[in-house]
Structure 1
Amino acid sequence: MLLEKILQSQGFGSRKHCQQLIKNGAVSIDGQVISDVKFKIAEQQLKFQVYSKEYQYREHVYLALNKPQNYECSHQATHHFSVFDLIDELLLNRGVQCIGRLDQDTTGMLLLTDDGQFLQALTHPKKHVPKVYQVETTDPISQAQIEQLLKGVELRNEKGIYTASQVKKLAENKLSLTIHQGVYHQVKRMLAAVGNKVIKLHRQQVGLLDLGQLEEGQYLYLNEQQIQAAKNQSESIQSLE
């Protein structure tokens, strides 16, 4: 592939701008400056430098972000910051999008990608990707509430019954809850339906990907094993450490 097209695909700007980077001697491979705009090279496993900073060619990018509070999953945030403020400009140029959404006050795992097929697969209602939340409530959590969450509750203006596939009490006012759907404010509404109120909500796991020790506000590229774990629900859980 032409080097200029590789640069353009990786988010470095327009074709003309990428050509100018090459002409200016800003691009090098294996320590050798490439100034020929018609230079061709295989893109697989390619590493290159732009202004001495190293980059790796990726056909698509798959990211996991530990979302902080007061960030919206929107490019046009209205009342808070945008999660895209936390992402490198090159990734924004590639058109990365959130896979699903988290409320502004919910923290934890948010996946992003520029792979449209992957995005559709993980957000399709029939996929039923499990999501694990850590929930803190205003009132102590009773056994009756846990049993009701496992049995299922009705949510106003929603069809059907919404259940938690797993509920584990972590402390008097804290539990771990796994759901497979993803309707608006689902966890908060489910706890309200059993007579409690969520005051803090954190998503620890999506599918087979666990947030691990990824720091709040930070993101990383999923490796091949983690990408496959997201695509194949039969594999073992992959921590982002």
Structure 2
Amino acid sequence: MRLEDILYRQGFGTRRVCAGLVQQGHVHVAGAVQTEAGALFDPQDLLFVVQGQAWTWQEKAYVMLHKPAGTECSQKPSAWPSVYTLLPAPLRQRPQKGAVQGVQAVGRLDQDTTGLLLLTDDGAFIHRMSSPKKHVPKVYQVTLRHPVSAQMVQRLLDGVVLDDDPRPVRAAACEPTGPSSLDLTLTEGKYHQVKRMIAAVGNRVEALHRSQIGGLHLPADLAPGQWRMLSAQDLALL
């Protein structure tokens, strides 16, 4: 594949911009400066450096982000900064079907909710992870205004009715972790679901943090606002 096409596919701008990066000596491959935009390389597992930043070829990008509070999972936020501003430009500019779309969030977290957020440009992956038919578990650490009771836990496991769906919504698991906190596991994602389920059992969410999706835990060394690419092992856990 031509080097300018490799950079374009990885989100470094239009083909003209990518050709300019190469011609101006801003791209290194295998430790050597490249100045020929048409130079051919096998992109598979190719490691290259653009303007001092190391990148590895990704046919599809899979990203985990530790979403901080006070951010929106929207590219056009209404009141709070977008989580997309926490990502480097190449991830936001990856082309899809001829248009610049970049990675997209796999589901959304409220602006005040923190924790594990996945982003990708793989539409099939988004569908698999978001579909309620796949029953992908998501674990939330919930801090409550009032104490946890055994009756509250049982009601969440048995199912509560939300105002937009007569079918009871059940927690896959519910484990108290303190006098006023619990871990809640869900396998579907409705609008404000955790907050509405907690309200339905007579309590209120004071803080909400997603710690796990499938078998993937939010890494302890990934600070709020930081991101990293998912490894093959991470994807297997999902």
TM-score after normalising by structure 2: 0.93
The equivalent position to 2:164 in structure 1, one of 154, 157, 170, is 157
One-letter identity of the residue aligned with 1:41:
F
Q: Does 1:218 align with 2:226?
A: yes
SS across alignment from 1:160: strand
Q: Does 1:203 align with 2:210?
A: yes
- What's the CA shift string for 1:121-164, capped at 9, x where partnerless? 11123112111001111111111111111111111121311111
SS across alignment from 2:163: coil
- What's the CA shift string for 1:18-73, capped at 9, x where partnerless? 11122222222122222222210101111112233322111111111111111110
One-letter identity of the residue aligned with 1:157:
D
Which blocks of at least 5 consecutive residues in structure 1 are unaligned?
Answer: 231-241
Structure 1 partner of 2:61: 61
SS across alignment from 2:78: coil
Task: Tell me the matched-pair count.
Answer: 230
Q: Percent identity?
A: 44
Distance 2:139 2:170 in 1: 13
Structure 2 partner of 1:38: 38
Which blocks of at least 5 consecutive residues in structure 2 are unaligned?
Answer: 95-101
Structure 2 partner of 1:106: 113
CA-CA distance at 1:229 after TM superposition:
2.0
CA-CA distance at 1:101 after TM superposition:
0.3
Structure 1 partner of 2:138: 131
Counterparts of residues 1-241 of structure 1 (less than 5 Å): 1-94=1-94, 95-213=102-220, 214-230=222-238
Check the 8 A contact 2:73/2:82 in 1, yes or no: yes
One-letter identity of the residue aligned with 2:224:
E
Distance 2:188 2:56 in 1: 35
TM-score after normalising by structure 1: 0.92
Task: Could you list the structure 1 runs, at least 4 aligned residues long, displaced by more than 6 angstroms after superposition.
Answer: none
CA RMSD of aligned residues (A): 1.1
